[in-house]
Each structure stands twice: as structure tokens, then as C-alpha cells.
Structure 1
Amino acid sequence: MTNISDIEDHQFNHLFLHERMDNNKDKEEAYLIDLINNINDNTTDKEYKKLVFAMRKKHKVVPGVIILNYLYKKCIQNKTIKPNKHFEKFNIRNETRATSGITQITVLTSPRPNGQDFTCEHNCYYCPNEPAHEENNWTPQPRSYLFNEPAVRRANENKFDAAWQVWHRASALELCGLPVDKVELYILGGTWGSYPIDYRIEFVRDLYYAANTYYHDKTEQCSNMRPRLSLEEEIEINQTTDVRIIGLTMETRPDHVTADEIKLLRRMNCTRVQIGVQHLDYEILKKINRGCYYDDVKRGIYNLLNCGFKVEIHLMFDLPNASPDKDKALINQIFRIEENGEYNFADPNITFDEAKYYPFQSVDWTVTKQWEDKGEYLHYSHEDLIDVLIYAKSHTPPSIRLARVIRDIPVSYVYAGNNVPNLRQLLEEDMKKKNLVCKCIRCREVRNKKTDINNIIMNIREYDASGGHEYFISIESPDKEIIYGFCRLRLSPNMGMILTGGYSRDKSVSINKDEDVNLFPFLNNVAVVRELHVYGNMTPHKSKKNDSQANSPRESYQHRGFGKMLLKEAERIAVNNNYHTIAVISGVGVRKYYEKCGYALNNNYMMKDLDFYDDVDKAAWFISIILIIYCVGNAFFCMCYL
């Protein structure tokens, strides 16, 4: 049996390995080379697994996926072997992380941004505020987050440095065999708008810098790394670099969605905003000291949609003062069933694209935990919670993606409330027994399923939203059970306009009346594509249509023209509604894609003139007239001479 060294960090160029390594590297390399030499175009999944067992027996070593990928990269660098696509497509771990078409990386902001002693100026009673103590290495945590949550641990290990968080997480994903060239970044930690502006700009700058320099050699304390440039310069570089940021998501409150905040978000090329709604019942919100009510949510969503952002909301069930009936009433207030049997939005002021359904959990360092310690029990029964969550999932419209159904809080923190970490899986099993289904996007994603790619339909769902009209254009299977991709198009007479009102954070005064502000005049009378997404195993941006299948043993639905089909349909709808310009709120890393589709950069949006459609229509009309005249003349000529 091979001796095992102590756990230590191993670094090679841009990769960081946090695994046990065998002392006898020669055996592992021989195993790898032998494995690669026995794989060919015709090797199946089943044959590969048999081959792996045979190699383990032959070489007396059992290296896992991560160590094999690390050695593979190192051997290529040392020219011991050549790149082998067959090995790459089989040696994958956690493949589902890339089946949504992108690779997601989550980073957290500092608990002490530029020395500031808070990360959220509010005090919601259910929200943890973990102080410095021995178990977290005497480091306080960003508001709402706990030290032992996976992403939070990674942030602590990297001292909350934005670039190092990206480098280490991308390295871990690459060593799992996953592509990291199309990255969607999620920024968590406290309330984004509560952080100092200069800290926020520097943090986001460092995210782009991390992507732009990911493949640079980081040995010798990064002594060979280039200096960090300005935010705008790093964004410019990211358009054509190897690792591209195709989406950037921030987390804030609805009452923080102000004019200045939106301008800064767009300067950073933020494309999605997560906002905590939690509930719409006034008494429940008052009980938890939320300080953010229906009108704030209505205004925040209005402002985000009319600037083209994708909107993700958080809803919390089982809150203090709530009941199963009140939580079901919340769902009924937001969603309604239509004549075709599908659910849609009931309130045009509360619409969104993604949601997280979070059951309330009592944890340490919260006011609600103090209530529990005094003998108050704040939760309804677990059976009632299951019933409410099933009700919520089964009522969710097919245009919404349920990103999460429970929060990833380790059970050790949970004092009361849900303590079942795999609750979503159990819910789906329970729903299946009851012949109930969730029609949300996540439950219908094609992922790596084997399907008939030629048997698809284009479906269009519509709904009113914040004074405008939304089109959810999707490519699906005929039974609508599988979704391959979709496009969100917004047509609004108030595009580029936002509402200012409610609580002014700068002046600390109450503004009684909402007032329209023309924040982005260049979006006035412009149709806006808020999202374009194609699902399936993520295909690197350098791949061509013909070799997208070759890069994965699973089904890949990217680079098949679905995106262009959806975009053309959005343009057609815009023209039919008398729009002459269309815009896309595009991530930096996909700007080149839109350029190929005829779009050009304008004020950090990709925009396209649609007047050519009118020219095409006029040409078609002119040709039709000529053909009619020709046919009539030809018929008259024949009658005269017969």
C-alpha cells in the first residue's frame, strides 16, 4: 500500500490542489498515461469505468478525478503527454455544476470593508450577525452569513480577497474537469449598498482582474503577476480573455435600488440583482423589523426591470407571526392559474425571473434566537412546512427558475425550524407520490438528458410587469416538460425610467410621493432583452458547432443556433410592436457574441437598429407588386394571342 503524505497545498502554475498526494508520483503518472492510451473515440461510459478499475488493479494506486486532472495538466506542461479530449470528457466530477450552461462562482465581501464596522445598516431580527470568536479564527462574518457555510469558509480561507476567491474556486472546478471559461459571478455578504463605494468598485475590479489573469503563474507569491488596472480597463480586457465573466449578480434590498445604485451597478456591468422580499404581509414584516414593505418591493422591482436587469427575489416561509394559511396566501397573492392550466403572475407589480424559497431557521446571533431562548416557539410544524413548500413549488410559473428551496446552512447552526439539508429532494419525491409537479425552469432544464433535438417547439408566454409587458420566449419539448433555452424580452413605455420615493438613505427623510426620473434616456422607446440562456452541458466559447458534441460524452445543446433563434424571435416581436431599436443587458464576456448578431456597445448595453426589418418588408412588398403586375400582364398577353 502506498504511503500517504500529510494534507498540504500543492500549487502548479494557476492550479491549487487541496488533496492527499501519494509519495510515489511515478506510479500515478504511469497509471494516467496507461489510462489515456487505452481510451479512444468509441469508448463508452461503462467501458471507461471498467478501464479505471483495471488500471487501479494494475498500478496499485487509486488516484481520484481531482488528482488525475492535476497530474494531467502538469504532465502536459512538462510535455510528458499531449492533450487528450477523450480523457477530458470522461474524467469529470460534479458535472451537474455545468449543465445549466454556465459555471457559477460565489464570492463574499469583507466583514470589515475598508475598516467599516458593519456590512448592513439594518437589523432584521432573523438575520445572523456572527461576531469574532475562537471557532471562526477571531474573524467576524459578513451580516447574514455563517462561518461554516461552504462559500463563507472559502472566503475566510482567502481573507475575503476577491481575486483569490475566484482563483481558488475556479481552480477547484477545473480540477473537477469542468470548463471555467464562461463564469457567472455571485457576490454575497451583507447588503451591497451598505459597503463603501470605493470598496465596491475595487472588489468588482478585482473580480475582472482575477478572470483576466486566471491562467497566469501564481507561484512565488504572485511576484510575476501584472498590476491591477482600473475597473474599466479590466472590463475591456475581459471581452476577449480566456475566462470571461458572462454575468454578474449582486445582493441587496428593494429599498436600496436607487438611481445612484443602478448607475454604479451598470458601471460594473451587473446583469442580475437579488433582492430580499421575504414576505408581503405588513404585520409579519413589522414583527421581524424588516423595514421594507410592499411599496418598497414594488418600487425596487419597477426600477430594476425598467433598466433591463434580471430580478431574483427571496421569499421566507414560517417566519414569526406567519402561519401556513398566511404563507399560502402570499403565494396566491403573487401567482394565479390561467385558462390553459399554467400558473402566471397575479400581481403585475410583483414579478421576477428567479426565486429562492427559504424557510425561516432560528440560528445563533439573531434576535429571534433570543426570543426562542426566552421560551417563545416561532415555527409551525414540519408537516405544515412541507405542505406550504409543496404548495409554493406546484404554483410556481414556468417562466421562473427556483434557484433554491432551502438555504445551505449547516445543521449544527440550526436551533429551531427546518434542519433537513436535502429537503428539496424530499419535497420532489413527496410531490411525485401525490402526482404534483413543479414547472419551474430548474426542474425542466434539459441538463444531460437524451432527447430528440429535432422535435422541439418555440413557446411564448406573456405577462404584465411594472407598467410594461414581458415576453418569455422558450424552446421546449412538445409536452413542455423539457426546456432547452429561453429569452426574456421587455417592452415598456417607461424603459430607462425609475421611481424615486420612500426612504432616502442619503437625506434620512421620507418622500411621500414616487417621482419618475429618466435615468437612462438612451433606453427610452427601446425593446430590451433582459436574458438569453441556453441550457445543457456548458460548451467553451472557443468551441465550434461541429465539435461541441466531441467535448463531452453527454448531450450538449449549446452552439446549435438556439440562442440566435430566440434572439431573432425577440427582434421580430419588437418590430411587430413598432420598436426601432433593441438592447441587451449583456455580460462583458458575451459582448462578442452579440456583435456577431449585429449589436454594438452603447452605454454598457448591446444595441441594434431594427429599421432594416422595415427595409426588408418594403423590399418584399415591392417585389410582390412586381410579381403581381408580371402575372397579370402575362395572363392578359396569353388571352390576347390564344
Structure 2
Amino acid sequence: MNQAQLKNIITNLSKTRIKNRENFNTLVKRYAGSYQEPSPLNSELLQAYRQLVKSKKIKPSKGLEKHLQKRSVRSMSGVAVITCLTKPMGCPHTCVFCPTEDRMPKSYLSNEPAVMRALMNQWDPYRQVKTRLKALSRHGHATDKIELIVIGGTWSAHPKRYQAWYVKRLLDALNGKTSTTLLQAQKLNEKASHRCVGLTLETRPDWIDEAEIKQLRKLGCTRVEIGIQNPRDDILKLSRRGHGVKEIVQATKLLKEAGFKICYHTMPQLPGSTPAIDLQMYKDLYGKEKFQPDLVKIYPTAVVKTAELYDWMKRGDYTPYSDAKLKTVLKKAKLLTPEYVRIVRLIRDIPAESIEGGNKITNLRQLISYELKKESKACQCIRCREVGHQSENKKSLGQPIKLRVKKYRASGGTEYFISFASQDNAILYAYVRLRINDESKDHHLQELRNAALIREIHTYGPHVKLGESGMIQHTGLGKKLMAEAEYIAGQENRKRIKAKKSSIAKVAVIAAAGVREYYRKLGYRLDGTYMSKRLLATGK
């Protein structure tokens, strides 16, 4: 199909009221059929749309852009995510469940989608980011707010020089300019066209100490994913994990006290576990103060040929759960999840042909959600409630937005999950995480002494470009949440002064380079690697 025909289809679509995706596809097929051509790709139509808008032959249409967008879920949460892998490196650990494929990062397989993209780009961070930016733009996604996620095994085991180079090259790709130092790249990214709004790194609990905390902040990391697998010493020992529960608890406390968001990787059906033990695991993670993750990835144990666990299974020393048993565990785990936790993944993205034992159902999350809906039950996790996933919930969408504050204890501090949600709390629009450490006057990071911490702020809904207004994003919800967090910090400070305890002098935000400008507009300034603001006597 030639460009003139594509532009004619877009012109016709721009004049038509499109009811839904099905109606859109029907119209495209009809218009293409008039040229005796099959339906064109959405990326081809999107290119024609952009050319017509640029030449001012049609007006921009958010509705049409939504239908032209491919895989809308990629930016449904308000940002675009880019996942990159580090180069293969030998791992000093010998976990029995871990794949050990040659020339691959430890625990990853060469036929996993993210690995295939990294391999195509020869593990180069700059090329990986550039490739994904092009793909996202081609498929209709805004790329001005980017969340970077770096995977590939234990990040902390890489040399410090490699770490700094890697993150700098990630930012160079976003900035469109090569910097001399990481610090320069971070500074440039504050006003870049593709801004890093979050940097996630994955490591192990036994690598986290005060020195590692400082290194993570120097790199600009805002979220840490740690593989805890199962918080029981006997199961960790049987899997030869190399650490125990003590290290999980200590790492969690150190990370939270420094403002990081924490994602736990958990593994149901490990050797030595049972459905009852797995269910107790999630009760403990959400019920005990020493754990309390912000996000969870649930990776049911999958047996692959390159893992030692495969030999155990062949000998009869390990047997995975049946699909029915696993599904029951996951359904119950979802129902246990509190409103301030996000279940990021329910299965790992391992192709079914590589799995010798364990779950092979690729749409397990959708099946479980469907079954819960049939039982008139619903998961309360953040992902299930965010507004982008609630388009069919007309009842809750029609309700006024309500400010809610959930207070809970976690790792030697008090957490406040402050959110805007529908009156019935079924739909989540925005939230902020405020933490007040029990003791912070002697914090090992000087900039966090006597500080309340903003660990995260997020407004959901379709990704809206910087400088533009949307239905949910850029409507002031974030500013209102920040004001409420500052007020609560001030109230807590007055209580402490009255009780003759150490005061709270400021609010510090763990902020990626790309969001520093946002906080500056709210009165914050760069303070070490954080953005901070002095608290007034009134607490406002």
C-alpha cells in the first residue's frame, strides 16, 4: 500500500467517530479493501498520521492515536519501560534452580525476548536503549519519560568501573549526546528529550551493605530488585542459595532507610516447599514488619535442562506442583496482597519449549484474574487497581476521587501509602510513599539525617508527554500528594518535638535525574544524590 492510500485511510478515520478497537479494525479493513489491499500495519498508519499532523492537513487526535498505538500496555502505567541486560559474567553462586547456559548472563536463557534483544545489540547498553526507543516510537508510544530496568544477574558483582560506564551509556542514549562522566550524563538528563524517571538494578540480599547503598545512589538507582526466593532458611539452604533470612531482613532495612523502592523476587514450588509453605510465605511477607516489599515478582520454579534441578527431577528428588495446585497457590497469594504492593509479574518470561517441569501456561495471570472475577473476588494489588486496567469498571470510574492514607510499620520505620482512588478503592489514580525512619539523626548518608523520605510518587493513566495535559496525568494530583506527605511529615515532627525525640528537619526524595526539574518546581533542591526541602515549623 502506498503513502497516498495510507494518508487517505487516516483522513477518513480522523473524520469518523471510532467506538472501540474492534470498530477501528473493521474500518481499517473496509478502507483498505476499497484499494483491494489487506489491512496495513498500525506502524504504517501511524507514520502517515504523523506526516498529516505535521503538515497540518488533519488535527491531532488523542483518540485516534490510542487506536494506532501497538501494545498500549507498554505505557499504560504512565511511563515507557526499557529493559536492558548486562554482559555475561561468571557467578560465584550455585543455586540449584538457576539456568547456566553458556555465554549468557547467569539465570537467563538465550531464547527469552529481552535476552534476544540484548544479544542482537551485543550487550551494549547504548544500542539496547536506542533500539527500544525507536521501537516504542514506531508503535505510537511517547518516550519522554523512561523507566530503565537493568537485569542480567547480580549487578553488584560487576566491577564498579563497568557499572559507572554502563549507566552512563544508558543515559547517553537517552540524552542523544556522549558525556565524559556519569555525573555529566545525569546533569544533561535533567532536561533531555528522553528523561530517566527511574532506574532499577537487580542484586542479591547478601551484597547489600552501607557501601553498596552509597554506590547504588551514586549511579542514580531508585529501585532495587532482590531475589529472596523464599524467606525460610531450610528452603534457601536446600537450594544452595548462599544466604539466609537474616541477610534478606538486613538488606530490606538498609534499602528502605535510604529511600529505595524494593521488589522481591519470590519462587513458589522450590525444593522442600509445599503449597501450604508457599502460602505462608506471602502471609509472612505482607504481615511481618521485617519484610513488607513494595513490589513482588512471582516466579514459580521452572525446571530447565541447564539447571541442576533438572537432574534432581530426573532422579525423582524433585516434583513440580500440578497446574491446579500452582494456580490455587497463586490465586490465594493475590488475594493476600495489600493495596500498597504491586505484583509486577506472575510468571517468568521463559519460552514453554525450554521448560522441562513446572508451569507452561503463558497467560496464567489472565486466567487467574478471570477465575477470581467469576468467584466475585478481586486482587487489591496496585497493578490490578491502576486506572489503565480498569476501563470496564464503569461503576467505580464514575465515583469521585478520594484521598486515602494507609499507615503501616516496616523495617524500623513508619510507612504512609497516600493515594487518590475511587471511593470504593477499586481504582487507583496516583500515590506517594512517605517513610519516616524511627532513627535518622545518625544516618550513614549525611543528606538523610533528620529527614522524612519520599520513596516513590506515581500518577497512572495513559502516558502524557511533558508539557501536555491529560485526563489523569499532569492534572495536579502529584502536587497534592506531595503537599499531603509534607503535611504528615510536619505533624510527625511536632509529635517528636513534644516527646523530646530527634526532629524531622526536611523531606528528602529519592529521585532519578530526569525528574529533578519536577521537584525543583515544588521547592526542592539537589542535596547529595537526593532532592530535599526544609520543613517549615507548621509542617507545610
Q: TM-score, normalised by structure 1?
A: 0.78
Contact residue 285 and residue 293 of structure 2 kept, 8 A: no
State the Cα distance separating 1:71 from its structure 2 match: 5.3
Paired residue type of 1:105: I
Paired residue type of 1:457: K
- Uncovered stretches (5+) of structure 1, i.e. residues with no partner: 1-26, 113-117, 132-139, 214-225, 336-345, 498-517, 549-555, 617-642
Paired residue type of 1:30: A
Q: Distance in 1 between matches of 2:188 and 2:49?
A: 29
CA-atom RMSD in angstroms: 2.1
Contact residue 129 and residue 365 of structure 1 kept, 8 A: yes
Q: Distance in 1 between matches of 2:316 and 2:438?
A: 53
Contact residue 33 and residue 81 of structure 1 kept, 8 A: no
Q: Distance in 1 between matches of 2:49 and 2:239?
A: 53
1:55 and 2:31 matched:
yes
Match of 2:315 in 1: 374
Q: What do residues 133-187 of structure 1 show as CA deviations (whole Å, max 9, x unaligned)? A: xxxxxxx110011111111110011111101111111211111111111010100
Match of 2:427 among 463, 482, 485: 482
1:405 and 2:346 matched:
yes
Match of 1:289 among 237, 240, 251: 240
Match of 2:355 in 1: 414
Q: What do residues 517-541 of structure 1 show as CA deviations (whole Å, max 9, x unaligned)? A: x420221111110000010001111
Match of 1:263 in 2: 214
- 1:353-502 mapped onto 2 (5 Å cutoff): 353-447=294-388, 449=391, 452=397, 455-495=400-440
1:304 and 2:255 matched:
yes
1:534 and 2:508 matched:
no
Match of 1:606 in 2: 531
1:106 and 2:47 matched:
no
Q: Distance in 2 between matches of 1:175 and 1:103?
A: 13
> Secondary structure of the residue that 1:31 maps to in structure 2?
helix
Q: 1:390 to 1:233 in 2, by over 3 A?
A: same
Q: Distance in 1 between matches of 2:107 and 2:138?
A: 30
State the Cα distance separating 1:41 from its structure 2 match: 7.2
Match of 2:8 among 14, 17, 34: 34
Q: 1:431 to 1:521 in 2, by over 3 A?
A: same
1:595 and 2:520 matched:
yes
Q: Distance in 1 between matches of 2:25 and 2:296?
A: 38
Paired residue type of 2:447: F
Match of 1:124 in 2: 95
State the Cα distance separating 1:85 from its structure 2 match: 1.9
- 1:104-253 mapped onto 2 (5 Å cutoff): 104-112=81-89, 118=90, 120-131=91-102, 140-213=103-176, 227-253=178-204
Matched residue count: 521
Q: Distance in 2 between matches of 1:463 and 1:430?
A: 30
Match of 1:134 in 2: none
State the Cα distance separating 1:575 from its structure 2 match: 0.4
Q: Distance in 2 between matches of 1:88 and 1:489?
A: 36
Q: Distance in 2 between matches of 1:447 and 1:387?
A: 27
Q: 1:257 to 1:197 in 2, by over 3 A?
A: same
Paired residue type of 1:488: R
Q: 1:474 to 1:447 in 2, by over 3 A?
A: same
Contact residue 87 and residue 123 of structure 2 kept, 8 A: yes
Q: 1:365 to 1:438 in 2, by over 3 A?
A: same
Match of 1:316 in 2: 267
Decide which structure has the larger Cα Rg and report it: 1
Q: Distance in 2 between matches of 1:473 and 1:228?
A: 38
> Secondary structure of the residue that 1:198 maps to in structure 2?
helix
Q: Distance in 2 between matches of 1:63 and 1:347?
A: 53
Q: What do residues 408-454 of structure 1 show as CA deviations (whole Å, max 9, x unaligned)? A: 11101110111111111111122223333211111111006266577
Q: Distance in 1 between matches of 2:510 and 2:364?
A: 34
Contact residue 309 and residue 318 of structure 2 kept, 8 A: no
> Secondary structure of the residue that 1:211 maps to in structure 2?
helix
Q: What do residues 357-384 of structure 1 show as CA deviations (whole Å, max 9, x unaligned)? A: 1111111211111212333333233222
State the Cα distance separating 1:44 from its structure 2 match: 2.8
State the Cα distance separating 1:81 from its structure 2 match: 7.1
State the Cα distance separating 1:387 from its structure 2 match: 1.4
> Secondary structure of the residue that 1:60 maps to in structure 2?
coil
Identity %: 37
State the Cα distance separating 1:288 from its structure 2 match: 0.3
Contact residue 401 and residue 440 of structure 1 kept, 8 A: yes
Match of 2:72 in 1: 95
Q: What do residues 337-368 of structure 1 show as CA deviations (whole Å, max 9, x unaligned)? A: xxxxxxxxx21111110001111111121111
1:558 and 2:486 matched:
no
Paired residue type of 1:491: I
State the Cα distance separating 1:576 from its structure 2 match: 0.4
Stretch deviating more after TM superposition (480-489 or 81-90): 81-90
> Secondary structure of the residue that 1:276 maps to in structure 2?
strand
- Uncovered stretches (5+) of structure 2, i.e. residues with no partner: 494-503
Match of 1:583 in 2: 508
State the Cα distance separating 1:612 from its structure 2 match: 6.1
Match of 1:552 in 2: none
Q: Distance in 1 between matches of 2:299 and 2:207?
A: 21
State the Cα distance separating 1:29 from its structure 2 match: 0.5
Q: Distance in 1 between matches of 2:253 and 2:473?
A: 32
> Secondary structure of the residue that 1:280 maps to in structure 2?
coil
Paired residue type of 1:603: G
Paired residue type of 2:154: T
Contact residue 493 and residue 524 of structure 1 kept, 8 A: no
Q: 1:41 to 1:300 in 2, by over 3 A?
A: farther
Q: Distance in 1 between matches of 2:348 and 2:59?
A: 39
Paired residue type of 1:43: R
Q: Distance in 1 between matches of 2:379 and 2:386?
A: 12
Q: What do residues 528-583 of structure 1 show as CA deviations (whole Å, max 9, x unaligned)? A: 1000001000111121x3xx2xxxxxxx3101111011111100000001133101
State the Cα distance separating 1:293 from its structure 2 match: 1.1
Q: Distance in 2 between matches of 1:595 and 1:227?
A: 25
Q: Distance in 1 between matches of 2:322 and 2:134?
A: 42
Q: TM-score, normalised by structure 2?
A: 0.92
> Secondary structure of the residue that 1:38 maps to in structure 2?
helix
Q: 1:604 to 1:210 in 2, by over 3 A?
A: same
